[in-house]
A = this chain, B = another copy of it.
Amino acid sequence: MRGSTGAKGEAPTINDVAALAGVSKKTVSRVINKSPLLTEPTRKKVEAAIVELGFVPNPQARALALRRNFLIVLLHDNPNAQTVQNFQKGVLQTIGDSDLALVVRPVDRTSDGMLEDVRAFLEKHRPLGVLLLPPISERDDLAEVCRACGVEYVRVGSAPLDDEAHCVASNDREVVREACKALIAAGHRRFGFVRGPAGFRSALEREEGFRDAMNGAGVAIDDVLFAQGNYRFDSGIAAGNQLLLATPRPTAIFASNDEMAAGVMHAAKARGIDVPDDLSIVGFDDSPTASHLWPPLSTVRWPIVEMGRVAARKLVERYLPDIDDDEKELPTRLPSTFIDRGSIAPRPD
């Protein structure tokens, strides 16, 4: 399989190809980089030599000469492992057979030096581009750091966070509205809402969607019980305990993510409140947990693999225009899906 002429056992270089094809290094380089000003016979000759030797361009040398590494960095501070994983999957679908590699870089949003750390990392590794996952994708100062370092970026979020070329977004507000409409259609009028952490765009969007649904159905917001959460399981339990103590008790609770919805379900079970007969619950994320719970949790699914694919293509396209030119326009909005499982039942009476 390897180059049949790999005399010294070492990988063949551009010089070997040039010598074999009887041309100069630069011409070989032009073939590699698909320069348009090449004679067809020259190109053929070189390509034949490349195949014969099994030549593969050395990425280290290219990186040095181009002052740019063929790397995509996935920057995230995401507690949801499955989301990160699925996004990676999408990115890798895009860069699969190319020369690119994916570097994963978790960061600590609570750290003071975070911004400087990222800047140092980017200046050191000079990646082609950066992919930003929420919640840190929401920070404009991070995007600014990327620009300052001359590194392209694409941000992923619950709603558009930047111009079309630099973001990929879900439609949290609309899909939450739709999910809540399902609760309303089941007859519910007494609602609880578990908020996501303050300052998170996703938390804001989901709450807006919830409010839209309430308004649309003529449910007074004043009658809705709100509880603050932080996207984690424990905060869901606390919120559930708080909401389920109220009189009259809500018959339906929307939690801004699945972890908290699972917590609400815990709180209900611990109080002998049956889900869904006494209480309907809807979450957000379609985490693995959602389908494993009993009853299976109705929730919302981001098209996260697709988002990874698209985000990576937005990033890579301008550097590797040969990737799949003839493809459709790259969307900025990738709509989420409401998945109605078993945690919604008609209002108890």
Contact = CB atoms under 8 A, between A and B. Distances in A.
B266 A126 contact: no
A64 interface: yes
Nearest to A78: B85
Interface in A270-304: 287-289, 291-294
A288 B289 contact: yes
A149 B297 CA distance: 47
A265 B294 contact: yes
A106 B89 contact: yes
The majority secondary structure among interface residues of chain A is helix
A272 to B, nearest CB: 12
A292 B104 contact: no
Interface stretch (A23-31, A55-63, A220-228, A316-324): A55-63
Interface string A56-76: 101111011001010100000
A116 interface: yes
A174 B125 CA distance: 44
28 contacts: A56-B120, A56-B123, A58-B64, A60-B64, A60-B67, A60-B69, A61-B64, A64-B64, A81-B84, A81-B288, A82-B82, A88-B104, A99-B124, A101-B103, A101-B125, A102-B103, A104-B104, A233-B291, A259-B288, A262-B292, A263-B292, A265-B294, A269-B294, A288-B289, A289-B292, A292-B292, A293-B293, A294-B294
Given A88-B104, A92-B106, A124 B292 contact: no
Interface string A101-125: 1111110000000001000100111
A149 B274 CA distance: 59
Given A60-B126, A63-B63, 6 more contacts: A56-B124, A82-B82, A101-B125, A102-B103, A103-B103, A266-B292
A1 interface: yes
A292 B259 contact: yes
A60 B125 CA distance: 8
A122 to B, nearest CB: 11
A145 interface: no
Nearest to A270: B294
Copies of this polypeptide in the complex: 2
A32 interface: no
A89 B59 CA distance: 27
Contacts of A71: 101
Contacts of A99: 124
A102 to B, nearest CB: 6
A292 B233 contact: yes
A11 interface: yes
Contacts of A64: 58, 60-61, 63-64
